[in-house]
Structure 1
């Protein structure tokens, strides 16, 4: 092997490090806030709906713009889009760290979602265009394990910063990482783009995709606040009909128009936002369906666990982070397993094993969660869950993109990332609704002997504070505090079982993926030599 080839290989793998750090930055930010939420609630006095929006404003914008930026990266340059995304993300992190109110924090999270949407599909596209064969399998394993691990490292980092400094540093820490990523990408990641991407950008398709995603997630988040059909009493809205069904109707109409518009452009020989011909590839079509369903269950549970660990069991933010670290350890162990067996076991088989481990971990959490549980009984199930996430995430990504042409890698990556993020957004919205609705119902039932007005006030206080009021209630009235702890624990259990149910559906969806040989065994997929 020549010296030039060796230097080229070293540069590609060094570039992968900074690509993975970029992924880590945006994934950590989607989870680091979870542990900091109780402190944010106290500092900014935000409601439970605002709690969901602090999470979902980021995820909603993230999911809505992935397709747009995936296509733009193909056209204008993937490295350029990655750099721009990191800069936008870091700048908006400054605004989030300085936010004086809940609404301004949510606005900053929206801007972070824009930056994150530039980064995620671009990292996938760069890996897809840079690596081949066995190297690609290893690169995807690194990428996927980074996501799985950072889901848990985020809470640990957030817990440390919140406990010893301030929740604001959970956002401020993005600045030095952003600077390091920009320097590393400029030095080690080669520019690439699709030379065939010509003509005007599909602005109409972009607008329709944003409207479809945004209205869907809005409806799921605000259904509990406004009412799923008729407007709730006391809510300021001019119509008897809730805005939620209106939002869902817009979702359906905009989604249909998006598909029709894209097919029309394709028939006219123009480039649509989403390359619909990619869905003729069975692995791409079925893999995206499976990825979206799996994501419904994968990350939604991360919303409820930190709230339960701190508000019911009494752990502080740092202790909560250490408990959730078991998830990261499981994910990193899975990366070693995937590296050892990824080229000897079919990727689809590894995906199924991973999802089965996730089901076991989440369902196990649902069984052991109670108001008197200890960290020792929680950690093993978190480890199993993290092990499953580490296996399934990377290998499912490889399955989805393995047959996508290089010149369409940005659109393919954007579609795959969109499927995951929509699934994640729906999961957080649905499981968040399950958590808060069931907590309110369970607490109301347990306080049946309390006068109606007082009971309603207690229930609303617990739900609106996302459980943060429970410790104070326990000090004022031990009986009421115990009832609130049991009710919130039951709600967390229901949320875990709902997540396990989605994962079971995801496992069933993978049955349509069939079997495939490890990528380096397929003809024409030998590693590049320089």
Structure 2
């Protein structure tokens, strides 16, 4: 029997997914605006890179702290605070007269985004019974996939019609509407057992360690991996991480909640998601470069050419979530990850220097869309499947932090592989990158098959259901 869910809960989920859509679109939309920003602000290539790097580093650094604050202070409270900060950052980005101010405004945006992402899901999941949570996460993930699909196209239309500043201004009405909807529809939730202050030593040191690692990864290609700054940042970050883990074991309110890793489903899904992330964004990056740089498509044509896969993924996310609630996550995830790898194997063996969009790229993109629809939101629901509701925000933030670090690391590896090929071999860089992506998906699938527990969350808990209104 399907357990009932209040209409208010579905509307609250709609508000949370709208915010996730806004954040994802903002991330994907900025790259399209680079040429316009460069001309308008007379920015160097190095400065332009920091518009993206500053955002990525900040989000990766503050996700864990944001998750902790959301569970302790209130998910709705932190979500709305994130909306306000994100909107302020968007406004400042839109009016920025110089590239340095734009970079600083993007950091403000990122701080808001780091609050929105872990709390957006955590504040609505307690409204859903265990047997319906994967479906809810599927809807949340579907909006993210739509944001990735339409972000570049929306950006191109805004830039051509109104100018690049409107890619930031468009966030303001969306944030205002979501803020109003959240205040009316979402009940406040938090960890009622949380006591005492957060670790005043471990929290700042842990956040600093993540920031140093992110800077070393993100800026390695630009500064050079042999640059003394990269070496110093990487070493300091790696040296500080064991201290953070020690503090997390000894302090009652640490930055990193190590108790999450007692759940096999959490650590297996998080580890596999990290391997998946090493190839996910790098794969999309190589597809965009293939369409534009090798096959000569315009930015708008490439954006539209990349759209079918994410649309398929968004259409599948909700029904796949329902299947995960009924059957469990293990084989859905495995099938999805394998399909993602097969899509790039098709490009590896079929793509050439001449355009072959309909015969090679589109079939690969469709297969990728099915694979992503089976996997991207399912990873999140798998990681949270056995986590107590009081830990939803920090659990989501931990998984997202691993994802962000691996996104950045995967991009760095793929760019290095792409640039390692002599200029006379235009396809060689793509082939090396695709081999890397295929290998990461294969490793991700192996972890899920070997480590993730079978059955649904209800079966693992020894439950067949729960009474309506009761949320385990």
3-state SS of paired residue (2:163) = coil
Tell me the CA shift for residue 199 of structure 1: 0.9
Q: CA RMSD in A?
A: 2.4
In the alignment, is residue 256 of structure 1 matched against residue 253 of structure 2? no
| More displaced stretch, 323-332 vs 218-227 | 218-227
| Distance in 2 between residues matched to 1:89 and 1:133, nearest whole Å | 31
Q: Give unmatched runs, 5+ long, in structure 2.
A: none
3-state SS of paired residue (2:196) = coil
In structure 1, the partner of 2:163 is 166
Residue 154 to residue 201, structure 1, CA distance change in 2 (3 Å): same
| More displaced stretch, 85-94 vs 332-341 | 332-341
Number of residue pairs the alignment of both structures matches:
465
| More displaced stretch, 519-528 vs 275-284 | 519-528
In structure 1, the partner of 2:101 is 104
Spell out, residue by residue over 1:272-320, the C-alpha distance to the aligned partner (whole angstroms, 9 max, x if none): 1222122122111222111111111112233344344334433333222
In structure 2, the partner of 1:36 is 33
| Distance in 1 between residues matched to 2:45 and 2:432, nearest whole Å | 18
In the alignment, is residue 70 of structure 1 matched against residue 52 of structure 2? no
In structure 2, the partner of 1:524 is 463
In structure 2, the partner of 1:219 is 216
In the alignment, is residue 80 of structure 1 matched against residue 66 of structure 2? no
Tell me the CA shift for residue 41 of structure 1: 4.1
In structure 2, the partner of 1:466 is none
In structure 2, the partner of 1:290 is 272
3-state SS of paired residue (1:198) = coil
| More displaced stretch, 520-529 vs 389-398 | 520-529
Q: TM-score, normalised by structure 2?
A: 0.91
| Distance in 1 between residues matched to 2:430 and 2:333, nearest whole Å | 27
3-state SS of paired residue (1:398) = helix
In structure 1, the partner of 2:16 is 19
In the alignment, is residue 442 of structure 1 matched against residue 422 of structure 2? yes
Spell out, residue by residue over 1:449-490, the C-alpha distance to the aligned partner (whole angstroms, 9 max, x if none): xxxxxxxxxxxxxxxxxxxxxxxxxxxxxxxxxxxxx63x54
Q: Give unmatched runs, 5+ long, in structure 1.
A: 232-241, 447-485
Q: Indicate which of 365, 372, 395 corresponds to 2:378.
A: 395
In structure 2, the partner of 1:273 is 255
| Distance in 2 between residues matched to 1:261 and 1:503, nearest whole Å | 33
| Distance in 1 between residues matched to 2:183 and 2:320, nearest whole Å | 30
| Native 8 Å contact 2:138 2:319 kept in 1 | no
| Native 8 Å contact 1:35 1:307 kept in 2 | no
| Distance in 1 between residues matched to 2:124 and 2:61, nearest whole Å | 22
Spell out, residue by residue over 1:75-109, the C-alpha distance to the aligned partner (whole angstroms, 9 max, x if none): 11100100111111111112222334443332222
In structure 2, the partner of 1:145 is 142
Tell me the CA shift for residue 121 of structure 1: 0.7
Tell me the CA shift for residue 429 of structure 1: 3.1
Residue 167 to residue 305, structure 1, CA distance change in 2 (3 Å): farther
3-state SS of paired residue (1:201) = coil
| Native 8 Å contact 1:121 1:410 kept in 2 | yes
In the alignment, is residue 303 of structure 1 matched against residue 285 of structure 2? yes
Tell me the CA shift for residue 336 of structure 1: 5.2
In structure 1, the partner of 2:391 is 408
3-state SS of paired residue (2:255) = coil
| Native 8 Å contact 1:89 1:112 kept in 2 | yes
| Distance in 2 between residues matched to 1:408 and 1:27, nearest whole Å | 24
| Native 8 Å contact 1:163 1:317 kept in 2 | no
| Distance in 1 between residues matched to 2:37 and 2:429, nearest whole Å | 22
| Distance in 1 between residues matched to 2:187 and 2:143, nearest whole Å | 21
Tell me the CA shift for residue 520 of structure 1: 4.9
| Native 8 Å contact 1:137 1:519 kept in 2 | no
Tell me the CA shift for residue 55 of structure 1: 2.4
Residue 507 to residue 44, structure 1, CA distance change in 2 (3 Å): farther
| Distance in 2 between residues matched to 1:106 and 1:528, nearest whole Å | 50
In the alignment, is residue 354 of structure 1 matched against residue 330 of structure 2? no
Larger Rg belongs to = 1
Q: TM-score, normalised by structure 1?
A: 0.81
Residue 54 to residue 368, structure 1, CA distance change in 2 (3 Å): farther
**1:334-345 → structure 2 map (5 Å cutoff):** 334-335=316-317, 337-339=319-321, 341-345=323-327
Q: Indicate which of 149, 153, 157 corresponds to 1:156.
A: 153
